[in-house]
Chain A
Amino acid sequence: MLVREKARAAEPTAGPVAGRAAKVWMTRTRRTDLMAGAVLSVLAFAGLFPYLFMLAASVKDNEQFYESYWAPAWPIRLGNYAVAWEQVSPYLFTSFVVAGFAIVGTLALASAAAFVFARYRFPGRNLLFGLVAALLMVPAVTSLIPLFVLMRDLDILDTRLVLIIPHITGNTVFGIVIMRTYMAQIPEEIFEAARVDGAGGIRMFVSLMMPLARPVVGTVALVTVLGVWNDYFWPLLTVQTDEFRTIPAGLAFFANQNVQQWGPLFAGYTLASLPLLLMFTFLSKWFLAGIQGGIVSGK
């Protein structure tokens, strides 16, 4: 630690103005670290507290919950998870199905369109792209009522399909906008070389553009999954069959079914969180890009 600080102090970019004693800097650095670390620890703990409480309470039975409210209790009741799994797993399954089909549908509709917008010149290009981008301005709540009526007229209320479609259209709009930006930045020389080799548009899209666009494809996929895990009103309004509920509406229903069954209740919340937690752990870069998606499209 000391060595590192000394090394930092020697660096002109991180250290103080040359000439000042390294020792003064060192103690000041350490004091700042301690104070900042203390405040940050409090903030981090406050933010994580509900989740820590959830984890601790998810392995207690009701007796343990009331007896050792604040502290973890022994023995742990993993049975709560079995009880919760029974009720939450259909929601998880539906969420995966909806997210999977939504990703496939979004990529099918968005990636080729983005490629065309990014790398071809044709009459009406700007107008058509403007039409797509204009949909970014239409908030989801505005379309909620008329879209519901449309789905009712199409007679697909209370199916999984009715959940999938809005995610495909919404993410297609977003996907076209960010994929086009990304694809337009890829150097033209790569495509020039392929063209010399006699590759056509389809060939270039499939074997050149899609592999190169993998990061932005990942972002679009992540945004789609986040959307499914956060869209509350649409599944609430359009499906009644319990197993067709995705996580948000399903979990709210689950909470009402398990009032004061604290162990299973919190176990269910934990199970519902696991997929996003895993994605955050293993795909954190894309995950954060997904959350910042709004900013990306805003710029």
Chain B
Amino acid sequence: MIGRKAPPGRRRIPWGVYLVLLPTFAALAVFAYYPALSGMLHSLYEWRPGFASPFVGLENYVTMLGDDLWWASFRNIGIIFVWAVTLMWVFPLLAAELVMSLSSERLRFVFRTLLILPLAFPAVVNVLLWQFMYDPRDGVVNSLLRAVGLDGLASNWIGDPDTALTALMTVGFPWVASLPFLVFLSALQNVPAEIYQAAEVDGAGRLRRLWSIDLPMMLRDVKLLLVMAVIAVLQYGMQAHIMTKGGPDNATQVPVLRMLDAAFLDTDWGYAAALGTVLFVLTLVVSVGALLAGRKGGRNARA
């Protein structure tokens, strides 16, 4: 880091810096560190805000082990995760490859802009519009099916436990307006032109190029996206809350909604704090694990 380099021997401590940092750390102490620590601490209590809260040890965590809804919610985000890193990456990858294979700079710009334009809309609008798309009577999906004579296929997509989760995951199709697309695209732009030329000389086809050049070049970014997908999926909740509230019949239950229900419906604040703590620990394990793996990988690559 470029610091102010004082000659050794007569370095003075710039006391002013602590004064500068004081308000920042004071604010973070109250509104960031305290809540995080308070959540972990109170997960060991029967937390009744405003009243006496008896210490119960690990009881909340024991309750969690037997909480079928909690485990069902993990099954659901497991499915969402697999979907998020396969189908939801294939389309962005395809789009990025196609954009890069366009010959004119202007066409690339036009398509890139059109493809990412949905990102300019608030996420909540996207979800509400898809909620409308699935409307059993007036929604786009069923209207389209009826228009092409497939009336029999029309169904209550988010009201039916069998289709609700799939419908939820299909929100935003084809998912090109997304971070993965931006990442894939900039990764492809960074592949040196000489490598492609060399591949062409060797007679490598399009698929071979994708497999042997593009994907290895993206590996680092893909790892990062993978970690971000895990973290995002652990926090998944807004779409489910708007469209299904975790229903029908808990078919779209996710950990965040389970945690909120524990606090605000069952007023079991200690249990909610325990669930939040578990989500934190999982996030931490994934982040730190990725950090260590990345560091190790980087060292090997350099060696």
Where the two chains meet, the residues of A that have a C-beta atom closer than 8 Å to any C-beta of B are: 4-5, 8, 13-14, 16-17, 29-30, 32-33, 36-37, 39-40, 43-44, 46-51, 53-54, 65-66, 69-70, 108-110, 112-113, 115-116, 118-123, 128, 131-132, 135, 137-150, 152-153, 165-166, 168-170, 172-173, 176, 184-185, 188, 191, 201, 229-230, 232-233, 236-237, 247-248, 251-252, 255, 260, 262, 265, 269, 272-273, 276-277, 279-281, 287-288, 291-292, 294-295, 298-299
Contact = CB atoms under 8 A, between A and B. Distances in A.
Interface in B226-280: 227-228, 231, 234-235, 237-238, 241-242, 256, 259-260, 263-264, 269, 272-273, 276-277, 279-280
Given A146-B42, A201-B16, A251-B124, A29 B24 contact: no
Contacts of A109: 23-24, 27
B252 to A, nearest CB: 16
B275 to A, nearest CB: 9
29 contacts: A30-B103, A32-B102, A36-B99, A44-B117, A47-B174, A50-B132, A54-B129, A116-B17, A120-B3, A120-B14, A121-B3, A121-B11, A128-B25, A135-B28, A138-B280, A139-B234, A142-B280, A145-B269, A146-B39, A146-B273, A148-B263, A232-B237, A233-B238, A252-B128, A272-B124, A279-B120, A280-B117, A295-B179, A298-B227
B143 A141 contact: no
Given A43-B95, A280-B119, A251 B128 contact: yes
Given A5-B103, A252-B124, A298-B228, A13 B14 contact: no
* Main DSSP-derived SS at the A contact region: helix
A53 B248 CA distance: 27
Contacts of B218: none
Q: How large is the interface on B (under 10, 10 to 19, 20 to 34, 35 or more residues)?
A: 35 or more
Contact of B179 (A139, A255, A280, A292): A292
A142 B28 contact: no
Given A17-B201, A115-B20, 11 more contacts: A36-B101, A40-B98, A48-B117, A140-B235, A143-B276, A172-B28, A184-B2, A232-B241, A272-B125, A277-B121, A280-B117
